Structure formats: structure tokens, C-alpha cells
Amino acid sequence: IGFGKTPQQCIALLAAGRRIASICGSPVLVGPSNKSFIGHLTGAEVQDRLAGTVAACLLARTAGAHAFRVHDVAGIAQAFTIAKAFADATNPG
């Protein structure tokens, strides 16, 4: 993510987690934390990209990413906890 990729390429990579894992035969690690694609899409400065980072991590997780490199570990963990509670409530049993 980032490192010479366009914002659209970053989003496409985040969305392709399951496909990438299947091709590589390995879990997928993503590191969208505060990346420039978030700033490009939202206009947010680096210090104001937590919400974009949370959204990118949640959507990448839904798309099959397994591990996340982030700056705000507690914030992302909290978002994942809420997402799991929501998923459990909407898919009981």
C-alpha cells in the first residue's frame, strides 16, 4: 500500500486480500496506517487520518486481510471489537 501506487491501486490491493492470499498461499499483511492515499481521498493531513485508517483496516479485514501494521493499535483493536460484535449480532449461531 502506498510506495508509488495511486490511491485507486491502493484501494484495489486492499479489496483483493482473499485473492492475494489464495494466489500466494499465505496470510495477507496490510499497512494502510496514515498513508497518502487516505489523504488523497479525504483531504486529511497525516495527523488527521485515523478515521480513514480505521475504515481501510475494517474493509481490508472484510476483504480477507489477516494482519495489520498500524500506528494506533488500540483504536484499530477497538474498531475490530465493535465490528465483531456487529457481525455476531447479525449472524447468530
Find the angle CA(28)-CA(30)-CA(36) to the nearest 5 degrees: 155
Is 77 among the domain residues? yes
Is 78 among the domain residues? yes
Looking at residue 20, its pLDDT comes to 93
Looking at residue 3, its pLDDT comes to 82
Is 2 among the domain residues? no
For 12, the domain range is 7-90
Reading the chain (93 residues) residue by residue, the pLDDT tens digits are 878 899 999 999 999 999 999 999 999 999 999 999 999 999 999 999 999 999 999 999 999 999 999 999 999 999 999 999 999 998 876
Is 1 among the domain residues? no
Looking at residue 92, its pLDDT comes to 76
Looking at residue 5, its pLDDT comes to 92
Give the number of domains in the chain.
1
